[in-house]
Structure 1
């Protein structure tokens, strides 16, 4: 049966700007409240019994709090971004109830964007007719991309394995540090496999930039946390470009500040999946090809948090990065006899899509306490990676190179 529904907007992630605000006006009738009571099973007399509610401190029937909060769902699902929305979370604080037939205004303001995860941070408020805040909170929304495909069409057509180029795999290479590492390695003569998880368009853009600069690259989709996906990635790279001689592990998951008292074990596991499991799987997959080729180089992206006193609110991230450091040193020791070097790069705060939602004052404060008076760029990190991957560093293994502008001095 065909039904006609209101049309939702179809904003893409790139079309949404920080600071954009979306609003709607609404009041809830007695029938709305009764319908919701039937759906939810909440027949509290404060909501459905007019006589009882009149004798309370509110003097009238109160709209269910969750029904009021549904206005945020309407804003997200119909306006920002609309049809591409996937609601990930919402916290709420109720300052006072909303009464039946009271007109309120729901407001959603975009205050943050994470390009790495294609998510929005949205401040949500419901205001009264006299513009006082009734309900406030923060929503987290993922922007899906229905237009994405699974591969870069035509990007492998002219690649030949007899080009003499050494092959490099860069995980998490569709954006940020990983993308810059891929470009830099290509400029230094490597044929580069640009690994991505969801961002096929961005990965293809990186490939095109490399090709326009005279380099060789392919985009390879894989969830590097999944053994089967990693095996398929390695097989595709070997078949298309040749055996990998360099592996750069730059994939990173979502980064959220939470105090230790608010963390769950699942938060630690999520970081360990990217920082340890994914690196382990990729290194295991590349190892036999590096060994049979006479050696290779692995560079794992760590963080400044592996030295000194870490920032607060990121215990899950800090734990995973330190675990990765331990794994890297273990591989460096064990695989040295196979002439496979394993090194690390630990950047300080770097301006990338992953940190673009930070307030500008954070970058300024970090630059002020850095001896070189600026924060790291993706190019700073990529140059350090390229050095460790190259022949100039052929006698270095187990090294953790800090790209921090002097904040860490060892």
Structure 2
């Protein structure tokens, strides 16, 4: 009779976002020697006590991959257990673990995809004093055949035949430029999550237009300046459409022309809330999903004001957009190794709800000084965003595309 422990048999429906699974373990010298024999890694730091005693650690250190095997134990035995198929795991090692040291391995469910029957886990190993030793993200398929059949039938009834599985989240998509970007991405084959703050009717209208044209879209309400609201929205998107692999940050607040002498710090804060805080919230929320998928495209909407001489009366807006330029470049550099590209689009003056109060002569004057002799349309901007979100721009990151008809040339 086998004494082998039994694995859990969780189905996809048994796993909920927010659930946490833990195991505790210490690795003995015998464990380390056995792993060295299997892996061929006989580094003296791990297996030679005399050598290890002379190092900065003072004694033998457990192999990093042996530690990471605790994640395999969590997945194969606990969540989901018998029905698990490991699709990916990234690892960051913060500090070594000594032989005999007790540690806890933790897996927290952070996302689920109905379309692919996969779950995303935030994985950590912590020391006895609760310090993070190893951290990462795991992606696991739940091979629950009954559940997969139900999910496939549900998806077939909800999603038109031939619809792409790639998901794009567009913030501020209920009107203006954001709405046009959502429609364009849908035409290019993305299922689109249409984010809105207050304009539920307008967001639903955008969704209906996309669906009527044969696309896939759903509306999701969230104040992107609120990190908790963004996390909740992301969870809903994953459950209803799948994990986003494209994010377009186009939400923007209202602005008024005022000279610098009349501006208050609160005016700057209002713009920074949208241009910096909101973008950070959404990017941090989707980054683990993109990293787990091995690819992702983020497009942040900037403005022509970040290039050349800025217009008078918009110092608060210009400052916030310039801050977003810096954040976008930093993200592009730091997340490149995760397969996540971060690019920017900087439109010139465009006819939208935000500019509809401008006098017609403003548009005519702007067109006259533009080499292409017209101002930008929302379609011009959306097409550039779509290009940066697609595979044709796969070797581009940290790029700022000026859609200005030639007014800005770099």
TM-score category (smaller protein)? 0.5 to 0.7
Q: Post-superposition shift, 1:159?
A: 4.0
C-alpha distance in 1 between matches for 2:338 and 2:294: 7
**Counterpart residue number, 1:226:** 226
Question: Partners of 2:396 and 2:192 in 1: how far apart?
Answer: 22
> Over aligned residues, Cα RMSD in angstroms?
1.5
Using the TM superposition, give the Cα deviation of residue 163 of structure 1 relative to its aligned residue in structure 2, in angstroms: 5.3
The whole-number CA distance in structure 2 between the counterparts of 1:291 and 1:159 is 25
Secondary structure at the counterpart of residue 218 of structure 1: strand
Q: In structure 2, how many angstroms separate the alpha carbons of the residues matched to 1:161 and 1:285? A: 29
In the TM superposition, what is the alpha-carbon distance from 1:158 to its structure 2 partner? 1.8
Secondary structure at the residue paired with 1:398?
A: coil
What's the counterpart of residue 47 of structure 2?
A: none
- 3-state SS of paired residue (2:194): strand
**Distance in 2 separating the partners of 1:215 and 1:388:** 20
The residue number in structure 1 matching 2:272 is 272
| Structural mapping, 1:204-353, within 5 Å | 204-353=204-353
Distance in 2 (alpha carbons) for counterparts of 1:332 and 1:264: 32
- 1:191 matched to 2:165? The reply is no
Is the alpha carbon distance of 1:283 and 1:322 closer, same or farther for their aligned partners in structure 2, counting shifts above 3 Å?
A: same
Counterpart mapping for 1:5-404 below 5 A: 158-159=158-159, 164-404=164-404
Q: Secondary structure at the match of 1:354?
A: coil
Check 1:392–1:367 CA distance in 2 against 1; reply closer, same or farther (3 A cut). Answer: same
Tell me the TM-score normalized by structure 2: 0.61
Report how many aligned residue pairs link the two structures. Answer: 255
Q: Secondary structure at the match of 2:294?
A: coil
Cα distance change of structure 1 residues 161 and 291 upon mapping to structure 2, 3 Å threshold: farther
- How far, CA to CA, are the matches of 2:367 and 2:157 in structure 1? 44
Q: Matched residue of 1:335: which SS? A: helix
Cα distance, 1:295 vs structure 2: 1.0
Residue 354 of structure 1 deviates from its aligned partner by 0.5
Q: Sort the Cα spacing of 1:160 and 1:292 in 2 relative to 1 into closer, same or farther, 3 A.
A: farther
Give, in angstroms, the shift of residue 234 of structure 1. 0.3
**Structure 2: distance between partners of 1:375 and 1:157:** 43
Q: CA deviation at 1:255?
A: 1.2
Give CA deviations for 1:168-201 in whole Å, capped at 9, x if unaligned.
0000000111000000000000000000000011
Q: Distance in 1 between matches of 2:163 and 2:355?
A: 38
CA distance in 2, matches of 1:348, 1:238: 34
3-state SS of the aligned residue for 1:381? helix
**Partner Cα distance (1:161, 1:277) in 2:** 38
Where do 5+ consecutive residues of structure 1 fail to align? 1-155
Work out the CA distance in 1 between the residues paired with 2:306 and 2:162: 41
Aligned equivalents of 1:332, 1:160: Cα separation in 2: 34
Work out the CA distance in 1 between the residues paired with 2:209 and 2:397: 31
Match of 1:27 in 2: none
Measured after TM superposition, the shift of residue 160 of structure 1 is 8.4
| Shift, 1:403, TM fit | 0.1
1:223-252 per-residue CA deviation (whole Å, 9 max, x = no partner) reads: 000011101110010000000000000000
CA contact (8 A) 1:159 1:240 kept: no
TM-score when normalising by structure 1: 0.61
How far did 1:162 drift?
A: 10
Secondary structure in 2 matching 1:252: coil
